[in-house]
Structure formats: structure tokens, C-alpha cells
Amino acid sequence: MQKYLPENLTDIFFILGITSFAVLIISALSIGYFIKQIPHDYFLNDKRGVSDYKNKNPIFWIITLALKNIVGYCLIAGGILMLVLPGQGLLTIFVGLILSDYPGKFKLERRIIKTRLILKTINWYRIKSNIPPIIFK
């Protein structure tokens, strides 16, 4: 079995450059959309109810949940990459965390969004888009 090894570092830098550019474009296109989708009162109520969609269409709910988690985890991975590559790493990680499902999700989201820089950036973008800023208790 033959392994692929680049003949020089030019191949590695080219691949890293293409990957960095792709992550930057995808995050730039998706982050704004996801920020607009967060309800302004999302952090007021820490209770999450069961949606009617889950009860009426359980198979589609599972498919939607799986796709949402895949996108969320991809954004988290991309955000981690953007911590060292060009892009908005922390904001991308935050949006990925909101989309994903995991234990302790709401508590972690509240802790992250209360970070001054994150909240300021998200609310700035929301105000520019004529959407009410995120509020807390």
C-alpha cells in the first residue's frame, strides 16, 4: 500500500490555503443567517418544551435533528480552525454550539454569549439587520 506524501511543502500550503478560503467563505455566508435566526428572547426562558413537529412527524424530526447537528458540529470544527486561520472563529463556534444538541447546552450558551465581545458583535449585526438585539433576564 502506497501512502501519499507531498514532494514539497508547496502542496501542503496550497491545500491549507484552499481549505482556509473555503472555511472563510462558508462561515461568512452562514454565520449572518444563523445570527438572524436566534430569537431575541431566546435566553429569557431556560425551559425548553417539546415541539409539535416532533410529535406529528417523528421520522422527519429525527432527520432534521441529525442534519442540524451535522451542520452545528461542522461549524464548531470550522470555528476551531478559524482560531488560527482567517475568519470569525469564536462567533462560528458559538453558532455551531447553538445548532448542536448536547447535555448542558443552554447553560454553556448563556455563559458564552454573556462574553462582552460575542454579545456586542451579535447585537451589532442584529441591529444592522433591523432585528431586535438579544436580551437577558
Q: What is the pLDDT of residues 24-35, one digit of tens each?
A: 787 777 778 888
Which residue has better confidence, 32 or 120?
120
Cβ pair 89, 79 in contact under 8 A: yes
At residue 98, the pLDDT reads 83
- Does the pLDDT at position 58 exceed 80? yes
Q: Which candidate, 39, 105, 43, 42, places its Cα nearest to that of 72? A: 105
